[in-house]
A and B are shown apart, each in its own frame.
Chain A
Amino acid sequence: MVEFLTSQLGVSIILALVVIGVMLGSVAYCIFFERKIAGWVQDRFGPNRVGYRGILQSIADGGKLLLKEDVIPGHVDTPLFILAPAIIFLVAFVGFAAIPWGGQLQLGENLVDIQVAKPDIGLLYILGVASIGVYGVVLGGWSSNNKYSFYGGIRAAAQMLSYEIPLGLCILVVVLTMGTLRLESITLQQTEYWGGILPMWNVILHPLAFLVFLITALAESNRMPFDLPEAEQELVGGYHTEYSGLKFGMFLLAEYAHMITASGFIAVLFLGGWHFPWIAWTQPEATAWYAVIAKMLVLAGKITFFIFLMMWLRWTLPRLRFDQLLRLAWKGLIPITLGLFTLAVILVYVGRQQSLPWALLGNAVVLAIVLAAAGLSQVEVTGRQANLPSIRPGPVSTGTART
């Protein structure tokens, strides 16, 4: 038994169970922090009644959702109506299987990875799982048989599809630089230093790609300013208009779980995962149990930072209109990421992919080209589309217009 528990498989199983537990807890508390941050941004207290400073609010929320009547309206497609929140909930968790949580751990003679699984294509696995997330939203919208829900679901699908392209291209930039699809190798390569001081994090090497990735990650997890699928003012509740009780709660939890997955993915790809520079415990050589805990805490800190950033953005930025949203993806982000991708190709071709001055120069050139192109062609990324014919309300004369 001990032999099994210290093998890679045993550690993977234990880690998976731990991750499930910790994630459920943190997802519940994300909702509490969201409300606290909303209060902070809007200059009010936020929840502060349940427990010390509202610390038990999440438990009260969960209890409330559990006790609420769960209405399944008569006009829905019942099996799919129940399946949709389950799918979106599952998909948000399955992605955790490939994230490297804390390097390697020395267990007796075995050196095991603190990672549920380390497939050859860890990065593609997370990307693939993320692309499945559309189904929960589309099915939820479709099976509800409500026009608001349906439109919300379709919108969500179009939005997630559109933003998946720049997401994939941004990751291609990282893959070109690193030459691997293994998440643990990507983390390891970022633990080197430039000039012995500056960590080789991808965020320093490719700041533009990082920014675009952050935007697309926001859009993929349907967060403000990209939360059109559930825009209250237009669509009531979007795809979860007809949901109530615990099923609604599952949609809510899944949104936060998606945020955690996205943040973990960003942290691993661009911020060196569990690596924190200048501290011996978070270096790849450290394999003792306390080093692993330190690494996990570092990764958790990075994830927390991104979650905080997403919440901050949610309560600060207004929502985009749908045509602006798609224009931002197709005419803004895709050309920029194609430019960044070309830059990465050139850098790798001339053999300078790890050289900081070249990369930053290239980023500056891409930024300048994008800004110049935007300025010269006057393509408005947001705002109103320019070439629309004027629509004047006048007498209805469609019958005679055929002349």
Chain B
Amino acid sequence: MISILTSTVHSLVLAGPLAQPSATHGNTNVELVVGIFLFVIAGFVIGFGGLTIGRIVRPTMPHPEKGKAYECGEPAIGDSWVQFDLRFYTVALVFIVFDVEVALLWPWAVVFKDMGAPAFWAFIVFFLLIAIPFLYEWKSGYLNWVRASTAQKRRSVLEEGT
């Protein structure tokens, strides 16, 4: 184990100085990851540094009322981690389908200019496979946000009957 660690350090040190000319990089994206790291670290430093400075200078006057949920002055009943509406989930599900579809289309879009007819027909098939169910969902009313609940439908049927 120790020999492995020393060999790691050894190879890392031997791996050369920090500054290698970028011409040899190819596209290993070191700049991108360095950039992401810098932005993330800077964001954390600014955010948590600010919070730390704030902790020193700001007042702390805890009060039981301050620790309660804000519900416009009413005491909150229960907490908010409840089951929510299924419609949000449906939106996310349909979104995923489109997201994956568009993700598959990116490489296609880049080469379409050069590929011509085969790419065109491959795309048409792919596109119809998505467009038809989308139209089906539209026609069936699943894209409507406001939907009649069963009770409302029943009542409207009753009203029509009488």
A residues lining the B interface (CB < 8 Å): 1, 3-4, 7-10, 12-13, 16-17, 20, 24, 66-71, 73-75, 82, 85-86, 89-90, 93-94, 96-98, 116-121, 124-125, 142, 144-150, 154, 157-158, 161-162, 164-165, 168-169, 172, 175-176, 179-181, 236, 241-242, 245-247, 250, 322-323, 326-327, 330-331, 334, 338, 345, 348-349, 353, 385, 387-392, 398, 401
18 additional contacts (CB under 8 A) given A9-B19, A20-B38: A66-B57, A71-B67, A73-B67, A94-B43, A125-B32, A147-B80, A158-B88, A161-B91, A161-B92, A175-B110, A330-B138, A331-B143, A348-B112, A348-B113, A349-B112, A387-B141, A389-B148, A389-B156
CA distance A13 to B76 in the complex (A): 49
Q: How many residues of B contact A (CB 8 A)?
A: 81
A398 near B110: Cβ-Cβ < 8 Å: no
Report yes or no: B95 in contact with A16, Cβ–Cβ below 8 A.
no
Interface code B89-120, partner A: CB below 8 Å = 1, 0 otherwise? Answer: 00110010011001001100111111010001
Q: Which 6 A-B pairs have the closest CB atoms?
A: A117-B32, A4-B19, A8-B22, A97-B35, A389-B156, A323-B145
B-side residues, CB < 8 A to A, are: 18-22, 25, 27, 29-32, 34-36, 38-40, 42-44, 46-48, 50-51, 53-55, 57-61, 66-72, 76, 79-82, 84, 88, 91-92, 95, 98-99, 102, 105-106, 109-114, 116, 120, 123, 131, 134, 138, 141, 143-146, 148, 151-156, 158-159
- Measured between C-beta atoms, what is the minimum distance from B35 to chain A in Å? 4
Assuming the contacts A169-B102, A330-B143, asked whether A66 and B19 have C-beta atoms less than 8 A apart, the reply is: no
Q: Which of B43, B53, B67 is close to A93, meaning CB atoms less than 8 Å apart?
A: B43
Indicate if the CB atoms of B143 and A172 lie closer than 8 Å.
no
Q: Please name the residue on chain B nearest to A128 by beta carbon.
A: B103
Answer whether A24 and B46 are a contact pair too, CB < 8 Å, given A8-B22, A66-B58, A124-B106: yes
* Chain B contact residues, majority secondary structure: helix
B92 in contact with A158 (CB, 8 Å): yes
| Residues of A with C-beta under 8 A to B67 | 71, 73-75
Q: Which residues of chain A have C-beta atoms less than 8 A from B25's C-beta? A: 8
Please report the C-alpha to C-alpha distance between residue A345 and residue B108 in the assembled complex, in whole angstroms: 11
Name which residue of chain B comes closest to A351, CB basis.
B113
Q: Are B31 and A176 in contact, with the CB atoms below 8 A?
A: no
Q: Closest CB of chain B to A154's CB: distance in Å?
A: 6
Residues of chain A lying within 8 A (CB to CB) of residue B80? 144-147, 149-150
Contact yes or no, A16 B38, CB < 8 A: yes
Q: How far is the CA of A364 from the CA of B151 in the complex (A)?
A: 45
Distance of A161 from chain B, by nearest CB (Å): 4
> Smallest distance from the beta carbon of B146 to chain A beta carbons, Å?
5
Which among B36, B38, B141 is the interface contact of A17 at CB below 8 angstroms?
A: B38
Q: Which residues of A lie under 8 Å from residue B148 when comparing CB positions?
A: 388-389
Q: Is the CB of A175 within 8 A of B106?
A: yes
Task: Flag if A117 contacts B69 (CB, 8 Å).
Answer: no
> Are the C-beta atoms of A90 and B146 separated by less than 8 Å?
no
Complex CA–CA separation, A12 to B144 (angstroms) = 48
Are B145 and A327 in contact (CB-based, < 8 A)?
yes
In whole angstroms, how far apart are the Cα atoms of A157 and B55 in the complex? 31
B70 and A154 contact, CB distance less than 8 A: no
CB A239 to nearest CB in B, in angstroms, measures 12
Inter-chain CA distance A118–B110, complex, in Å, is 17
Do residues B69 and A145 form an inter-chain contact, with CB atoms below 8 A? yes
CB pairs A–B below 8 angstroms (18 shown): A3-B19, A4-B19, A20-B39, A66-B54, A69-B59, A93-B39, A116-B32, A118-B31, A119-B29, A154-B88, A175-B110, A179-B114, A242-B69, A246-B51, A331-B138, A331-B143, A349-B116, A392-B159
